[in-house]
Amino acid sequence: MKFCTNCGKQLNDDAKFCDTCGAPVSGTQTPPIPGTNENVGDDTKRKEVFVGVKRKCPVCGAEVSAFALTCPNGHELSGINVSKISKDFQEGLIEYEGKEERDFVASFPIPNEREALGNFMLMVASILKQDMQNGADQMRVSSFSSKFDEIKSKVYMMLKADDPIFGETKKWDSALNELYENYKKIIEERAIINRKKQKEQERKNRKWERKRNSLWYNASNETKGAIIGICISFGVAIILGCYLFGCAID
């Protein structure tokens, strides 16, 4: 099997010229490398190499944009796999907590590939949205907010304004800014409640401290028994005295 060294088309075994581009056929032919258009015997010619992936509908072949759930002709897309980067990030969030989780989020690399970058942006934005709606810990929200800002900067730097991922990032940025205002109110209300609880606990602590420092609290059981006995005897003496004094008057 022979191939044209100029355009890469397959040739008949006895061909002397390419039927497509007209280039003369000479010497032993080898198949061109997939994704390239090159002259195998001449390294001085520019080589055309295709990179990346073009997404197409498996039903009609129409080109599909990022984040699309249906093709332009309405065919539903299914079986879309989660990228390894997103999977690694999810597993890390499950494994770590507290400061370790924040360190993991801060150090996790942002992908360079367009679609992976868009999916990663959606994941971080969704987590941040849920955390703010639920009034999550401020340090966790701050950690994911910083990560989203990093992703946003990379999207704006790498992609054009008419790119769907660029537009989706701007929408999420606006929505998250609005949510943050409500989140601040939740945090302020929670702080007021916590201050009230703290003051109440301090009042109870002072009361307990006064009780703990009292003579009665620190007295032994024998001392307390003796004091109670004296009080009872004194009370009985007063009652008898009053009774006898009343009888004497009569």
Contact 128, 145 (CB under 8 A): yes
DSSP 152-212: HHHHHHHS-TTSHHHHHHHHHHHHHHHHHHHHHHHHHHHHHHHHHHHHHHHHHHHHHHHHH
Closest of 194, 93, 172 to residue 140, by C-alpha: 93
pLDDT tens string, the chain, 250 residues long: the values are: 677 777 777 777 777 778 777 777 765 445 555 555 544 445 555 666 665 566 677 666 777 665 555 667 766 555 555 578 888 898 999 999 999 999 999 999 998 888 888 889 999 999 999 999 988 888 999 999 999 999 999 999 999 999 999 999 999 999 999 999 889 888 888 788 888 888 888 888 887 777 767 766 777 788 878 888 888 888 888 887 777 776 666 5
pLDDT of residue 54: 67
pLDDT of residue 81: 52
Phi, psi (degrees; rounded to nearest 5) at 106: -65, -35
Give, in order, the Cα–Cα distances in Å from 163 to each of 81, 167, 241. 22, 6, 103
Place of tokens 């955390």: 131
